[in-house]
Structure 1
Amino acid sequence: MSTFNPHSEDEIVEIVQWALSEQAPIEIIGQGSKRELGRPLQTEHTIALSTYSGVTLYEPDELVLAAKAGTPVAELEALLAASGQAFQFEPMDYGPLLGKAARQGSLGGLLATNLCGPRRLKAGSARDHVLGVRVVSGRGELFKSGGRVVKNVTGYDLSKGMAHSWGTLGVATEITFKVLPKPEAETTLVLRGLADDEAARAMAIAMGSSGEVASAAHLPGNVASRVIGGTLQGEASTLLRLEGFAPSVADRAEMLKKLLASAGAVDTLSEDISRNLWREIRDVIPFADGTERPVWRVSMAPMEAYKLVASLRMGAAVDAFYDWQGGLIWLRMEGDPEAEAVRALVAKYGGGHATLVRASVALRAALPVFEPQPAPLAALSKRLKQQFDPSGIFNPGRMVAGV
């Protein structure tokens, strides 16, 4: 097995052209923090982009940042923070959940897996903020799409197309993102002791109000005990995050307290505790237990989520908590991954997507890790792969066996 550590874009092109000429499948990684996501690969060669790192453009006044694909996200977040800015989509860090160190992800991996966080309801995901990319295709050709200014929309959809491609379409070499100012103030309102269905209704009321809620989540009691050092006292907690200018945050908090008074007393978390709490929710810290117990990521209609969890618990031992107002469910299974049961219930309660995020190598090889696509969409994905990587040398089988 060989690992290539390129230092320039030209070297990346040469490596891909060599792999193409040899018909040698090759794995693409950045820092390797998400290597255990998706189906396991069986490739003899790896392109590790950790040596291809650095910021190529940062113009705070223009709200634009570009960097090489191997640049650590943590390094970029520190740079942005120094100017009072951030990736507004709040990219999660899979490292702790997968038993690895935190803050190791790369910019290329961020785009390839289309990362986002609890602010997804308001800010979208990585694909909604990417402005441009430079990519080496599976044909050994370098191309660019998009631009370096927010107003430039040329090729914008192609830039977005690299999001959630999991390294199966090409090797991104440079990525340009739109960045935004960090919120001036933040607080979180906490409703205590609500059952899952009651929490779903309370979050729906809050999200439908003029309170401009940035994030909404519900942690059942056994999950609430595992965040921010037990500050939530192991009590079921329904969480509403407010951000913006300090006076506005305070006014909206008071409005929401009155609106939700029938649900019980509403507590307020300080800014520091609030930031830490949402970071732990973002990174699924309650399930970062150092094991390979299967963890599912399910996205579906928010008001159907608690029904799925209740039905699943009738036949399986499972821990769960809800983000995105319930539109994102994190499930940790105590036994087998129950793939058929999970996906059958997703279909029963309105449809959605279920992804097996963490499991042993054997299970990830045996099961469809990603939600199986309907035939027309699968055919479209196959044609897209054929256009970008006709020889199938990039991350073969990462998403679907044989593709």
Structure 2
Amino acid sequence: MMNPNSKINGPTEVFSPNDDAELSAFLADSYARGIPLRIAGGGTRLDLGALNAQQTLTSRALTGIVTYEPGALTLIARAGTPLEEVEQTLAEEGQALAFEPMDHRGLLGSSGVPTIGGVVAANVSGPRRLQAGACRDHLLGVRFVDGSGRKIKNGGRVMKNVTGLDLSKLMCGSFGTLGVLTEVALKTLPRAERQLTLVFSKVSLQEACTIFASALATPYEVSGAVYHQESAWLRVEGFAQQAAYRADRLKALFRENQIDVIADEESRALWRDFKNVEVFAQSSEPLWRILIKPSEAPALARSLQLLGGDVFIDWGGGLVWYCGSAQSAEVRSAASAGRAVLIRQGARPASDRFPEDAGAISRLSAALRKTFDPAGILNPKLMGD
């Protein structure tokens, strides 16, 4: 049953179950023996080597698209299915994952293969989140095995079948600390026929955030709003006439500004770089991901820039990426109004990345972990005690 077959991020053995039954038996045995485990998908987003674990459990053998119904806009895939395979399958039918998950490999220098289970486990969401929502908003259901070996199914193939306690949303973003995903069901959406990007030059971050707030308050369905080094970008998508109309209306709204327009493939290439935060891919300095109220982004950016380094703004100001050598305590202090997560620690993925929760949130998190991982064996210490 134990089938260890390679090494990942350290000396521990790797177990890759082929189905739910193998996974359940392995976790039940680990639970009974109290063996701490590293939980990994493709191994591209976390430095699991620093975790106090004796074995690595990966979903990489749980591969394959179970069912895809383009007409119903639904896809079900096993957790270890490569993200690229999912995206290619959707592209063949003119569809896509609306939340456009990012690829962390450029930022972290990792060499694994991103999996759809890893995307869900980390709730990975790109620039379109401000319009379409996050990964969890497109998650219809999951299958997983918890820390005691129980096989659990929750949700359905369509929204009307999602009833009762929505464990899917709970698993999304839990980073393997509540259970090991084996299958995910997701909504898909048609790929936009046309994409246009409005480029604003020579604007301050304060001016950019004002532009973002005004644009996002319009009915023109802005699907991306980012800022870096005195330039701001707004993206609109849809059928050709829709996209052109939206771009024209936004240009009229901001007629006082100098605006250039980038179209289609050039625009898509630009937003792939934005999605993957390529601007910081060549740096080896620590990298932080900070969630903040958009109205507070300019003040946060100024505080961070005083510490040295650079900032990149996404989600219309709701997401601030900070790349710099400031101490963790300094960054967390500057970002006290938001939530700062350390993504890269120097030249390698971060291990101690999450801030400590306090009060009611801490108690709730501990209760959930006790329910789904009673022996504390799944990615121990990754997200607190």
Structure 2 unaligned segments of length 5 or more: list them: 1-11
Separation in structure 2 between the aligned mates of residue 325 and residue 294 of structure 1, nearest angstrom: 23
Q: Deviations over 1:173-198 (max 9, x none)?
A: 11111111111211100011111111
Q: From 117, 121, 128, give the equivalent of 1:112.
A: 121
In the alignment, what sits opposite 1:322?
Answer: 313
CA separation of 1:252/1:363 partners in 2, compared to 1, >3 Å: closer, same or farther? Answer: closer
Q: Deviations over 1:22-47 (max 9, x none)?
A: 2111111111111327x931212111
List aligned pairs for 1:315-354, cutoff 5 A. 316-333=307-324, 335-336=325-326, 338-347=327-336, 351-354=337-340
Q: From 17, 25, 28, give the equivalent of 2:39.
A: 28
SS of corresponding position for 2:140: strand
Separation in structure 1 between the aligned mates of residue 341 and residue 177 of structure 2, nearest angstrom: 17
Q: From 200, 215, 223, give the equivalent of 1:214.
A: 223
Separation in structure 2 between the aligned mates of residue 33 and residue 155 of structure 1, nearest angstrom: 33
In the alignment, what sits opposite 1:2?
Answer: 13
Alpha carbons 1:302, 1:327 under 8 Å: kept: yes
List aligned pairs for 1:280-299, cutoff 5 A. 280-289=273-282, 291=284, 293-299=285-291
Separation in structure 1 between the aligned mates of residue 348 and residue 139 of structure 2, nearest angstrom: 35
In the alignment, what sits opposite 2:236?
Answer: 242
Q: Which amino acid aligns with 1:143?
A: I
Separation in structure 1 between the aligned mates of residue 93 and residue 205 of structure 2, nearest angstrom: 40
CA separation of 1:363/1:183 partners in 2, compared to 1, >3 Å: closer, same or farther? Answer: closer
SS of corresponding position for 2:222: coil
Alpha carbons 2:61, 2:80 under 8 Å: kept: yes
Separation in structure 2 between the aligned mates of residue 101 and residue 241 of structure 1, nearest angstrom: 30
Pick which of 382-391 and 51-60 moved more.
51-60
Shift of 1:16: 0.7
CA separation of 1:364/1:241 partners in 2, compared to 1, >3 Å: closer, same or farther? Answer: closer
Pick which of 6-15 and 65-74 moved more.
6-15
Q: Which aligned segments of 4 or more residues in structure 1 are displaced greater than 4 angstroms?
A: 360-365
Q: Deviations over 1:95-122 (max 9, x none)?
A: 11101248x2111111110010000111
Q: From 3, 8, 12, give the equivalent of 2:23.
A: 12
Q: Which amino acid aligns with 1:322?
A: I
SS of corresponding position for 2:159: coil
In the alignment, what sits opposite 2:6?
Answer: none
Q: From 382, 388, 403, give the equivalent of 2:372.
A: 388
Quote the RMSD (CA, aligned, Å). Answer: 1.8
Residue 76 of structure 2 is aligned to residue 66 of structure 1: yes
Q: Deviations over 1:378-397 (max 9, x none)?
A: 00000000000000111101
Alpha carbons 1:26, 1:45 under 8 Å: kept: yes
Alpha carbons 1:53, 1:71 under 8 Å: kept: yes
Q: Deviations over 1:139-161 (max 9, x none)?
A: 11101001112321224621110
Give aligned pairs, total. 374
Q: From 38, 42, 51, give the equivalent of 1:41.
A: 51
Q: Deviations over 1:272-296 (max 9, x none)?
A: 11111111111111111162x1101
Separation in structure 1 between the aligned mates of residue 81 and residue 228 of structure 2, nearest angstrom: 33
Separation in structure 1 between the aligned mates of residue 86 and residue 217 of structure 2, nearest angstrom: 34
SS of corresponding position for 1:214: strand
In the alignment, what sits opposite 2:271?
Answer: 278
SS of corresponding position for 2:200: strand
CA separation of 1:361/1:381 partners in 2, compared to 1, >3 Å: closer, same or farther? Answer: farther
Q: Deviations over 1:127-146 (max 9, x none)?
A: 11111111111111101001
SS of corresponding position for 1:151: helix
State the percentage of identical aligned residues: 40
Separation in structure 1 between the aligned mates of residue 175 and residue 316 of structure 2, nearest angstrom: 26
Shift of 1:360: 4.5
Alpha carbons 1:99, 1:290 under 8 Å: kept: no
Shift of 1:55: 0.8
Structure 1 unaligned segments of length 5 or more: list them: 221-235
Q: Which amino acid aligns with 1:18?
A: D
Q: From 296, 301, 325, give the equivalent of 1:309.
A: 301
Q: Which amino acid aligns with 2:280?
A: F
Separation in structure 2 between the aligned mates of residue 170 and residue 81 of structure 1, nearest angstrom: 30
Q: Which amino acid aligns with 2:320?
A: I
Normalising by structure 1, report the TM-score: 0.89
Q: Deviations over 1:328-358 (max 9, x none)?
A: 111001x24x3222222223xxx22111111
Q: Which amino acid aligns with 1:211?
A: Y
List aligned pairs for 1:133-172, cutoff 5 A. 133-155=142-164, 157-172=166-181
